[in-house]
């Protein structure tokens, strides 16, 4: 693995076409200053999320795992003025950092941060009785299949569900892995294989964040 080369390519892509600005860099600095782990999506990955949100024409987004609000700011920026992003975060301290950065980025009105374990936040979301156009699953990886299953019921036909960190340094291909996070990503792929309502792929990624990957799943338009 040539981490230095991957990081250099990310840097070039960033400087040329990704366009990470001061506000986003500020959100990363604020998270770092507050002692949050630097595990937000990379700038090129964040730009992909933003492009996907725009392609879907999303007005309502759900995110599992807020951290310092980096991916939330990117996705919220891709929403129309009356769009809404609900993001779920287990750590109150992280959510507070995210709140500051999201407000500072000028997208505060579009972003609602709900604090607590994501699974416990789902009943209240059901009460809202409104489907999502786009879901980003990026919280505790062992629960990704649970988050995906729930999201399948609450994403509109034609909507997109994206899951981060599914490749895990290639461990995804290891059928004998006893790592719960790896087993969960394999289970997620097997669930999708067996579900005619969804069409999906996984794209492996390298870059500043090492070797991992995104799963991208389209809820079939005719699945209503």
CB of 57 to ligand DHB, least distance (A): 26
Question: What would the x/- binding string for ligand SAH be over residues 38 to 67, using CB under 6 A?
Answer: -xxx-----------------------xxx
In the complex, the smallest distance separating the C-beta of residue 135 from ligand SAH, rounded to whole angstroms, is: 12
**E-strand spans in 24-106?**
60-64, 84-89
The angle formed by the CA atoms of residues 215, 213 and 142, to the nearest 5 degrees, is: 70
Query: Is-contact 135 71, C-beta < 8 A?
Result: no
Report the interhelical angle of 180-193 vs 144-154 (nearest 10°): 30
Give the nearest distance from C-beta 136 to Mg ion in angstroms.
9
Hey, which residues does 192 pair with through a beta bridge? none
Residue of 56, 90, 162, 218 interacting with ligand SAH (CB under 6 A):
90
**Taking Cα atoms as reference points, which of 106, 105, 60, 104 lies closest to residue 86?**
60
Identify which of residues 118 and 184 has a Cβ nearer to ligand SAH in the complex.
118
Complex with ligand SAH: residue 87 or 202, whichever CB lies closer: 87
Burial of 104 from C-beta contacts in 10 A (0-12 / 13-18 / 19+): middle
Q: Which is nearer to ligand DHB, 77 or 168 (CB)?
A: 168
Binding stretches for ligand SAH (CB under 6 A): 39-41, 65-67, 70-71, 88-91, 94, 117-118, 138-140
Binding stretches for ligand DHB (CB under 6 A): 39, 138, 164-165
């Amino acid at each position: 693995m040539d981490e230095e080369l991957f990081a250099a390519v990310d840097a070039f892509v960033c400087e040329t076409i990704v366009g990470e600005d001061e506000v986003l860099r500020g959100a990363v600095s604020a998270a770092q200053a507050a002692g949050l782990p630097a595990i937000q999506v990379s700038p090129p990955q964040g730009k992909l999320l933003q492009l996907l949100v725009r392609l879907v024409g999303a007005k309502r987004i759900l995110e599992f795992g807020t951290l310092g609000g980096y991916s939330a700011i990117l996705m919220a920026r891709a929403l129309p003025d009356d769009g809404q992003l609900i993001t779920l975060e287990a750590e109150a301290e992280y959510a507070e950092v995210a709140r500051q950065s999201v407000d500072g980025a000028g997208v505060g009105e579009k972003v609602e941060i709900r604090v607590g374990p994501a699974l416990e936040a789902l009943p209240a979301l059901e009460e809202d009785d409104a489907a999502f156009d786009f879901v980003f699953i990026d919280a505790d990886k062992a629960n990704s299949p649970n988050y995906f299953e729930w999201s399948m019921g609450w994403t509109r036909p034609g909507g997109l569900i994206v899951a981060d960190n599914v490749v895990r340094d290639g461990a995804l291909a290891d059928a004998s892995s006893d790592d719960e996070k790896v087993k969960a990503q394999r289970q997620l792929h097997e669930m999708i294989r067996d579900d005619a309502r969804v069409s999906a792929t996984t794209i492996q990624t390298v870059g500043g964040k090492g070797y991992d990957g995104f799963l991208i799943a389209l809820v079939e338009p005719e699945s209503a």
